[in-house]
A = this chain, B = another copy of it.
Amino acid sequence: MFNHFDEQGQAIMVDVSGKTCTLRTATAQARVLLKPATLAAILEGSVAKGDVLGVARLAGIAAAKKTPDLIPLSHPLAIHHAAIEFRHDPATGELRIEATVRAFERTGVEMEAMTAASVAALTVYDMCKGSDKSIAIAEVVLMFKEGGKSGTYRRGES
C-alpha cells in the first residue's frame, strides 16, 4: 500500500533509475482563513505597509527547491518552473494560495507543489500572527497533476 517501504516494511527511496523522464506538472492549493480586516490590510499593504504576499510568494518558491531536504524519502529533483498565485475573498477573509511546479523528470512534482503552498501559507501566518494568532491554514490539497504513468489527476473528479 505504501510504496516508500520495501517488502520488509523498511523505508527506502524508491528506485526510479529505470523510469523515463517526462514533463511533470503539479498544482497544490492552500487556503488561509483570516479576519476580513487582516486580509484587507494585506491587500492594501502590498503598496504601502509591506508586501505580505510578495514575501510569502518567495518563501513558497524557495521551499519548492528545498523539498528533497524536507520530505525524507523524496527524490532530489531539478525543478524547471515554480509559480505562486493568490486569490482572495474580501467578504470571508479567505486567501487561496495556488502553487504550480513543473519539471522534466523521472518522478512527479506533487510534493514540491504541496510544500510550496504550505510554506507560503506558513509565511502568511508568520507575518500576521502579531495581530491575530488564531489564523488557520484551512486546507492544503493537491489540485492537479499531469505527466506520469498514473495519468492526469484533477481534484474533485473521481
Given contacts A66-B69, A73-B126, contact A137 B134 (CB under 8 A): no
Q: Is the CB of B127 within 8 A of A79?
A: no
Q: Is the CB of A122 within 8 A of B126?
A: no
The chain B residue sitting closest to A62, CB to CB, is: B72
The chain B residue sitting closest to A50, CB to CB, is: B5
Q: Which residues of B contact A128 (CB under 8 A)?
A: 2
Q: Which residues of B contact A110 (CB under 8 A)?
A: 129, 133
The chain B residue sitting closest to A44, CB to CB, is: B1
Q: Which residues of B contact A12 (CB under 8 A)?
A: 61, 81-83
CA separation between A148 and B72, bound complex, in Å?
28
Q: Which residues of B contact A134 (CB under 8 A)?
A: 141-142, 155
Return the contact of A13 from the options B61, B76, B118 (Cβ within 8 A): B61
Give A contacts to B, CB under 8 Å.
Answer: 1-6, 9-17, 23, 38, 41-42, 45, 47-52, 54-55, 57-59, 61-66, 68-85, 102-104, 106, 110-111, 114-115, 118-119, 121-123, 125-131, 133-134, 136-142, 145, 153, 155
- Could you pull out 12 A-B pairs where Cβ atoms are within 8 angstroms? A2-B127, A4-B50, A4-B127, A9-B47, A10-B85, A11-B61, A12-B83, A59-B70, A71-B122, A76-B77, A76-B79, A137-B137
